[in-house]
Structure 1
Amino acid sequence: MFRGTPLMIQGTHSDAGKSAVVTALCRIFARDGHKTAPFKSQNMALNSYITKDGKEIGRAQGVQAEAAGVVASTDMNPILIKPTGDYQSQIVVHGKPFQNMKAGTYRQEFYEKGLQVIEKSYLRLQREHEIIVIEGAGSPAEVNLNDRELVNMRIARLTHAPVILVGDIEKGGVFASLVGTLQLLEEEDRKRVIGVVINKFRGDVSLLEPGLEWFEAYTGVPVLGVIPYVSGLHIEAEDSVVLDSYSKDKDETKDLDIAVIRFPYISNFTDLDPLFSEEDCHVRYVQKSEELGRPDMVILPGSKNTLGDLQFLHESGLGNRIHTLAEQRTQIFGVCGGYQMLGDEVVDEYEVESSLKSVSGLGLIPMRTRLEKEKKTVLSEGILDYEGKHFSIKGYEIHMGVTIFHERENGKPFAVLADRTDGVQMDNIIGTYFHGIFHNDSFREELLNTLRRKKGLSPIINRLSFERKREESFDRLADVVSMNLSMEKIKEKMLEFQALSKKEAREAHGKNV
């Protein structure tokens, strides 16, 4: 491969499986000995990843970097858009908040700056890596946005990348969506599509072959592969639409029932992934008070609009139900924004996240949180004293709030760090700013076994490491994708496009001289 050889993965719509395909390709190329980097020029997501230098990028790109065996950097996702409500988003540029903007303002005023940021980031990656696997967003056929888009075909042209188009057969209408997308592309862009991939197929692929033959004859575009549906992967999802697939109801076959509050602006819900991997746990997302029931633990996760989501708790009746469960000694666990909601009040006088100035909390912890203009993004580690045992924990923090306690007579810090303490433990109430807390295997095991003991169940010792499960998932996904894609044909096209782009660059240089 030439240095900086690109390949771009686009989809017919959101949640077609682009992120998973990119993750698989990053692992495949890395296993083949190529230094590989993921790249997504602009990502709209509420799931964040903190780089080693304390910068914030889309979680999918951080995970893809891990699959490739390289250190994640903001060049892999230079622009992150985090919706906050009121048709407004926080624009994060190279890992730091740039400005809150409405969609129209962003398109009109940020486009040129965004393009410059993207191009410089890509050139740096190109110098340092042999292969760059680029991920698009949404669909390249969104004709109302294509004049100033920063993430699909505009980036394919900028990087001289061949494009693979992914369609999701599970949602139905895959041939219509693939054909329609191709027909709506400009001729120049359509020529970049080296083939399509049909994703999430269940069943006998021979039954699909007549459709594949028809598609190739009708469009002239080859089908590069049919990827079967792969279940049981422990790899973080990027798009919150995946939450729609999770159960709201209790599973009586599982020992532990864990209810997670699904806020309208839920963020970093991948914090919960290790709990989903535990065989004795049923994790469900709830949005209505009547769905909550009597779980063994209630988790309030992160939020990109803490005051708005806190107001949702009050208006939905979930706040009262959580308060009642707390009084009944149910384990309540708040993470980041969910932790802030457990206090007496959250104040946002600078309108950092929304136009709401102040909302009363659930009153379960004697504390008050004030949102400030500066965001804290840092990898953290400390010592946790829980149930008389000490645990070394690691995680990351992404928050704009400063929390002040009125008194701590009935509690203690959740964790002790080198320079400060974090969070609080008060009987059956836990609050912490540590994202990724459940990824700490030893603490997760003790927490779940404490819940088991409360129910008179025997503890489960030596649970499997989630990190090990995750690495095995990277390899299993890569195995499935490599077996079902025409990898040699893909590599051949990548080299053809790279050779052509180098030839065009030489010719352009000659003309300039």
Structure 2
Amino acid sequence: MRKALPLMIQGTGSDAGKSVIATAFCRIFSQMGYKTAPFKSQNMALNSYVTIDGKEIGRAQGVQAEAARIPATTDMNPILIKPTREQESQIVVHGEPYSNMKATAYRMEFFPIGLRVIQDAYDRLARAYERIVIEGAGSPAEINLNDRELVNMRVARMANAPVILVADIERGGVFASLVGTLQLLEPQDRERVIGVIINRFRGDLGLLQPGLDWFEQYTGKPVLGVIPFLPELMIDAEDSLILHKYKGRTPDAAVLDIVVIRYPYISNFTDADPFFVEPDCRVRFVNRQDELGTPDLIILPGSKNTIEDLLFLRQTGLEGEILHLHRKRRTHVVGICGGYQMLGESIADPHGVESPQREVAGMGLLPVRTTLQRNKTTVLSRGHAYYADNYFEVEGYEIHMGESVATAMTAPFITLADRSEGVYAAGGRLLGTYFHGIFHNDGFRTHLLNELRAAKGLAPLTDRPSFIRMREAGFDMLAEQVRAHVKLDVIEEQMEAFQRQHTVEGA
């Protein structure tokens, strides 16, 4: 097998659509018969993915591996940065915590270490795969950071990869952002850009054509595609940066109101994704007391700083309102990971793993006490969930640094092969678990939603969508749309030509 052909997707800024376009190319190359892998050297994200060997990477690369129909490994995202508080992040190297570092220390001290880690990871992928789809981060034109960056043009040079630049037309100023980015690149890096893709276009392409013609003439770079806005994508979001538009649709038949609490350090909020495809659910992300209303289900999702996020609930009045709704209006409450810890009696952080606060009282709904540990648990899990006198086979994953211990007799929520996990209380109106992905299990989710319907005097729905099947179909739909709107033959030709014409430059 010859060394892999790489293609790098960079953007004019954050949330330009790099992850989605990279996911599309992972599925397209896989459909073409190439053994394909994703790669993102350094990812800053609070949405995580657990590999088959129990390591942690950015969720986007795990999803891209699924699109490529391969198991995810830490080589696909060797460095993960998880913000824990202002100006400080947990650095995860090959799936395991390396250190908590301030931004300046990371930039100055970690750079040579990170460069070696990235080079070794990429070289292993290049020997094992035929195509590698590389994703950048932010913008390659961050001139104040480029001397020590580890994720854009330095990686393109390391991999000898051609670059496609992606811009989001929804934001406005698409040609200015593309031209400005190109002009700020160093000449040798500008040469690596084989063309651009304009993402999330709505409207008449004929009205855009004069701009496309001008752009190609002005920059000498071809427009390789204009991707339409795709509202029904079942592709996991990378991080909470996009939560301002993470609303989905409100179905006409929506009778169930589901609220996800959006605290400052929210993580793995994609646990709530399956509810967006349900015909009777309205899903809202809420961070203010006056937005809460009277939902049927409140979800406290994961958190990268559980104590600080619990204090946020306390300071904003959300905690008191959640307690009132649960106790007085019998609202269902589910806490996942950090949310589970918040529902307990107390949270201690004796080692300062996440917060300078050493211990705080919890919300007091569950008889558990949590202590944050230095070591992180990351594991894929499978077991049986107990809910409303039924048992359901469930699969998911755990990512947590806390150990929660019961202070009284509790009914376990999930039974695993070697242990019990979580708490089932208040007749199922209160659930706490470390089990991410619990709602992705169609059988359990169907029963939960039908219990919510029964509480409102509504008949059950028996023909609910399968989120797992819809997600797989989403990869194919995304690949089909991108195939239809990009010049794939030109991209293929340029990938081959680029490798013939360019020698590997030093990184």
- Normalised to the residue count of structure 1, the TM-score between the two structures is 0.96
Q: Aligned AA for 2:274?
A: P
**Aligned-partner Cα distance in 1 for 2:396–2:47:** 14
Question: Per the alignment, in what secondary structure is the counterpart of residue 321 of structure 1?
Answer: helix
Q: Aligned AA for 1:430?
A: L
User: Contact 1:345–1:367 (CA<8 Å) still a contact in 2?
Assistant: yes
Q: Aligned AA for 2:485?
A: N
How big is the shift at 1:290?
A: 0.9
**Aligned-partner Cα distance in 2 for 1:277–1:88:** 36
1:101-140 aligned at under 5 Å gives the runs: 101-140=101-140
1:1-400 aligned at under 5 Å gives the runs: 2-246=2-246, 254-328=254-328, 329-400=330-401
Question: Per the alignment, in what secondary structure is the counterpart of residue 232 of structure 1?
Answer: coil
User: Contact 2:249–2:276 (CA<8 Å) still a contact in 1?
Assistant: no
**Aligned-partner Cα distance in 2 for 1:370–1:128:** 41
1:116-170: CA deviations, max 9, x gaps? 0000000000011000000000000000100000000000000000000000000
How big is the shift at 1:384?
A: 1.4
How big is the shift at 1:386?
A: 1.1
How big is the shift at 1:248?
A: 12
User: Contact 1:15–1:239 (CA<8 Å) still a contact in 2?
Assistant: no
User: Contact 2:156–2:162 (CA<8 Å) still a contact in 1?
Assistant: yes
Question: Per the alignment, in what secondary structure is the counterpart of residue 110 of structure 1?
Answer: helix
1:294-330: CA deviations, max 9, x gaps? 1000000000000000000100000000110110211
**Aligned-partner Cα distance in 2 for 1:234–1:449:** 23
Q: Which residue of 2 aligns with 1:511?
A: none
User: Contact 1:249–1:291 (CA<8 Å) still a contact in 2?
Assistant: no
How big is the shift at 1:3?
A: 3.2
How big is the shift at 1:86?
A: 2.7
**Aligned-partner Cα distance in 1 for 2:355–2:249:** 32
**Aligned-partner Cα distance in 1 for 2:201–2:424:** 46
1:331-382: CA deviations, max 9, x gaps? 0000000000001111101010121111211111111100010000000111
Question: Per the alignment, in what secondary structure is the counterpart of residue 363 of structure 1?
Answer: coil
Question: Per the alignment, in what secondary structure is the counterpart of residue 241 of structure 1?
Answer: helix
Q: Aligned AA for 2:417?
A: A
**Aligned-partner Cα distance in 2 for 1:248–1:431:** 26
Question: Per the alignment, in what secondary structure is the counterpart of residue 341 of structure 2?
Answer: helix
Question: Per the alignment, in what secondary structure is the counterpart of residue 464 of structure 2?
Answer: coil
Q: Aligned AA for 1:289?
A: Q
How big is the shift at 1:252?
A: 8.4
Q: Aligned AA for 1:268?
A: N
User: What's the % identity of the aligned pairs?
Assistant: 61
Question: Per the alignment, in what secondary structure is the counterpart of residue 465 of structure 2?
Answer: coil
User: Contact 1:16–1:167 (CA<8 Å) still a contact in 2?
Assistant: yes
Q: How many residues align?
A: 503
Q: Aligned AA for 2:404?
A: T
**Aligned-partner Cα distance in 2 for 1:278–1:240:** 22
Question: Per the alignment, in what secondary structure is the counterpart of residue 453 of structure 2?
Answer: helix
1:423-446: CA deviations, max 9, x gaps? 001111100000000010100000
User: Contact 1:4–1:131 (CA<8 Å) still a contact in 2?
Assistant: yes
How big is the shift at 1:247?
A: 5.0
**Aligned-partner Cα distance in 2 for 1:247–1:215:** 33
**Aligned-partner Cα distance in 2 for 1:449–1:254:** 13
User: Contact 2:4–2:130 (CA<8 Å) still a contact in 1?
Assistant: yes
- Normalised to the residue count of structure 2, the TM-score between the two structures is 0.97
User: Contact 2:46–2:267 (CA<8 Å) still a contact in 1?
Assistant: yes
Q: Which residue of 1 aligns with 2:422?
A: 423
Structure 2 segments unaligned to the other structure (5+ residues): none
CA separation of 1:303 and 1:483: change in aligned 2, threshold 3 A? same
How big is the shift at 1:385?
A: 1.7
1:375-411: CA deviations, max 9, x gaps? 0000011111211111111110000111111112xx4
**Aligned-partner Cα distance in 2 for 1:446–1:248:** 22
**Aligned-partner Cα distance in 2 for 1:252–1:335:** 29
User: Contact 2:346–2:362 (CA<8 Å) still a contact in 1?
Assistant: yes
Question: Per the alignment, in what secondary structure is the counterpart of residue 369 of structure 1?
Answer: strand
Q: Which residue of 2 aligns with 1:479?
A: 480
Q: Which residue of 1 aligns with 2:406?
A: 405
CA separation of 1:191 and 1:288: change in aligned 2, threshold 3 A? same
How big is the shift at 1:253?
A: 5.3
Question: Per the alignment, in what secondary structure is the counterpart of residue 344 of structure 2?
Answer: coil
Q: Which residue of 2 aligns with 1:497?
A: 498
1:488-510: CA deviations, max 9, x gaps? 11011101122234xx36x99xx
Q: Which residue of 2 aligns with 1:434?
A: 435
CA separation of 1:430 and 1:483: change in aligned 2, threshold 3 A? same
User: Contact 1:26–1:68 (CA<8 Å) still a contact in 2?
Assistant: yes
User: Contact 2:82–2:304 (CA<8 Å) still a contact in 1?
Assistant: yes
**Aligned-partner Cα distance in 1 for 2:386–2:298:** 21
Question: Per the alignment, in what secondary structure is the counterpart of residue 140 of structure 2?
Answer: coil
User: Contact 1:248–1:291 (CA<8 Å) still a contact in 2?
Assistant: no
1:57-112: CA deviations, max 9, x gaps? 00000000000011100000000000001310000000000000011000000000
User: Contact 2:277–2:465 (CA<8 Å) still a contact in 1?
Assistant: no
User: Contact 1:39–1:133 (CA<8 Å) still a contact in 2?
Assistant: yes
Q: Aligned AA for 2:351?
A: Y
Structure 1 segments unaligned to the other structure (5+ residues): 509-513
Q: Aligned AA for 1:314?
A: R
User: Contact 1:197–1:223 (CA<8 Å) still a contact in 2?
Assistant: yes
Question: Per the alignment, in what secondary structure is the counterpart of residue 391 of structure 2?
Answer: strand
Question: Per the alignment, in what secondary structure is the counterpart of residue 14 of structure 2?
Answer: coil
**Aligned-partner Cα distance in 2 for 1:424–1:440:** 18
Q: Aligned AA for 1:191?
A: E
User: Contact 1:378–1:396 (CA<8 Å) still a contact in 2?
Assistant: yes
**Aligned-partner Cα distance in 2 for 1:247–1:95:** 30
Farther off after superposition, 11-20 or 353-362: 353-362
1:174-230: CA deviations, max 9, x gaps? 000000000000000000000001000001111100000111111111111100001
User: Contact 1:251–1:257 (CA<8 Å) still a contact in 2?
Assistant: no
Farther off after superposition, 241-250 or 475-484: 241-250
Question: Per the alignment, in what secondary structure is the counterpart of residue 191 of structure 1?
Answer: helix
How big is the shift at 1:35?
A: 0.5
Q: Which residue of 2 aligns with 1:470?
A: 471
